[in-house]
C-alpha cells in the first residue's frame, strides 16, 4: 500500500505542474519524461506503459499487490492448518479424559463364596460410571480408549466369632493376569480388610476386574466396604 500511495502522490504532483497544458499533451510529456529518466524512479517499480496507456495509478503495482495478496493468503492458510492440527491434538488429549467409575458391593449380611473356581466380583452399587466403561453385571471395566489408568479396590470380610476362620483372597486382574492381590487366613481376627491402588497401561478394549479366588469367601459387608474404582490418568495413542 505504501508503493501505491507514493506513486499516486508523484503522479498527482506531476499533473499539477502541467495543469496549464492540454490533458493529452500533459500525459505524453509525463510519459516521455518518465521513459527518459535514468536510474531508479522515485515512485518505485512502475511500469510506465501500464501507467500511461492502460489504467493510471494503481495498475502499475498490481503485480506486486497480487504477489503480496497471494503470499498473505498462503501464510493465513498455513496458520489455519497449524491451528487445526493443534486443535486435533488437544481434542486427542482431552476428549476422553472423562473416564472414571466407582462401585461398591451391595451390602450383605451373609457371605459370597466359596466357589470352585475364581469368580469376578460384581460391584452393583454404582456411584459413578463416566464413559460407561464399567459393566456392573460382570464386574468388569473395559477401556474405552488406550491410556494410563489408576485402579483401586478395597476388600473387607467379617466372619463374626473370633474362632471362625477369616479366609479370603481377592486379586486385581488385567486381561486375565493377576496384577495385585489381598488375602487373609487366620482364626484370631473376626474381621479384616485391605486396599490396593495400581497404575496400569491399557490398550483399547483391555479388561480389568477384581475376582474372588476359589475356596475363599467374603462375609457380612453391611456398609459396602468392598469397592472397586478407576479412572483415566491420561490417554495414549493406539
Contact by Cβ (8 Å): 167, 216: yes
Reduce the DSSP state of residue 43 to 3 states and report it: coil
Q: How high is the pLDDT of residue 63?
A: 66
pLDDT value at residue 40: 55
CB 165 within 8 A of CB 216: no
Quote the crossing angle between the two packed helices 23-36 and 2-17, to the nearest 10°.
Answer: 120
Length of the chain: 238
* Contact between 220 and 160 (Cβ < 8 Å): yes
Res 204: pLDDT:
93
Locate the domains of the chain by residue range: 2-92, 100-235
CATH number of 100-235: 2.60.120.40
- pLDDT value at residue 227: 94
Total Cβ atoms within 10 A of residue 19? 8
**Predicted local distance difference test score (pLDDT) of residue 117:** 93
Which pLDDT does position 39 carry in this prediction?
A: 60
Q: Is the dihedral of CA 197, 203, 209, 210 positive or negative?
A: negative
Specify the pLDDT at position 52. Answer: 56
**Residue 15 vs residues 23, 55, 138: alpha-carbon distances, Å:** 9, 15, 92
Any idea of the CA torsion for 171, 172, 178, 181, to the nearest 10 degrees? -40
pLDDT in tens for each of the 238 residues of the chain? Answer: 444 444 444 444 444 444 444 555 666 666 666 666 666 555 555 555 565 555 545 555 566 667 777 788 788 888 888 887 777 666 666 555 689 999 999 888 888 889 999 999 999 899 999 999 999 989 999 999 999 999 999 998 888 776 778 788 999 999 999 999 998 887 777 778 889 999 999 999 999 999 999 999 888 888 888 999 999 998 887 5
| Eight-class DSSP state of 217 | -
Contact (CB, 8 A) for 76 and 185: no
Q: pTM to 2 decimals?
A: 0.60
CA gap 26, 19 in Å, rounded? 8
Strand partners, 198: 151
- Give burial (CB, 10 Å; 0-12/13-18/19+) of 218: buried
Residue environment code for 102-115, b if the CB has 16+ CB neighbours within 10 A, otherwise e: bbbbeeeeeebbee
C-alpha pair distances (Å), 37 with each of 30, 31, 123:
11, 10, 93
∠ CA 101-167-226, rounded to 5°: 20
Amino acid at each position: 500500500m505504501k508503493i501505491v500511495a507514493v506513486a499516486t502522490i508523484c503522479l498527482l504532483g506531476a499533473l499539477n505542474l502541467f495543469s496549464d497544458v492540454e490533458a493529452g499533451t500533459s500525459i505524453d510529456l509525463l510519459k516521455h519524461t518518465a521513459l527518459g529518466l535514468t536510474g531508479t524512479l522515485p515512485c518505485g517499480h512502475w511500469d510506465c506503459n501500464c501507467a500511461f496507456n492502460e489504467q493510471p495509478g494503481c495498475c502499475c503495482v498490481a503485480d506486486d499487490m497480487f504477489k503480496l495478496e497471494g503470499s498473505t493468503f498462503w501464510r493465513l492458510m498455513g496458520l489455519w492448518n497449524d491451528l487445526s492440527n493443534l486443535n486435533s491434538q488437544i481434542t486427542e488429549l482431552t476428549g476422553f479424559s472423562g473416564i472414571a467409575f466407582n462401585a461398591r458391593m451391595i451390602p450383605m449380611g451373609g457371605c459370597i463364596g466359596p466357589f470352585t473356581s475364581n469368580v469376578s466380583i460384581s460391584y452393583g452399587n454404582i456411584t459413578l460410571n463416566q464413559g460407561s466403561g464399567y459393566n456392573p453385571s460382570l464386574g468388569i471395566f473395559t477401556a474405552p480408549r488406550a491410556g494410563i489408568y489408576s485402579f483401586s479396590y478395597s476388600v473387607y470380610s467379617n466372619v463374626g466369632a473370633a474362632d471362625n476362620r477369616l479366609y479370603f483372597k481377592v486379586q486385581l486382574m488385567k486381561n486375565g493376569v493377576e496384577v495385585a492381590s489381598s488375602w487373609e487366613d487366620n482364626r484370631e481376627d473376626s474381621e479384616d480388610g485391605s486396599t490396593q491402588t495400581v497404575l496400569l497401561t491399557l490398550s483399547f478394549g483391555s479388561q480389568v476386574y477384581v475376582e474372588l479366588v476359589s475356596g475363599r469367601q467374603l462375609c457380612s459387608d453391611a456398609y459396602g466396604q468392598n469397592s472397586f474404582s478407576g479412572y483415566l490418568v491420561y490417554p495414549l495413542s493406539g
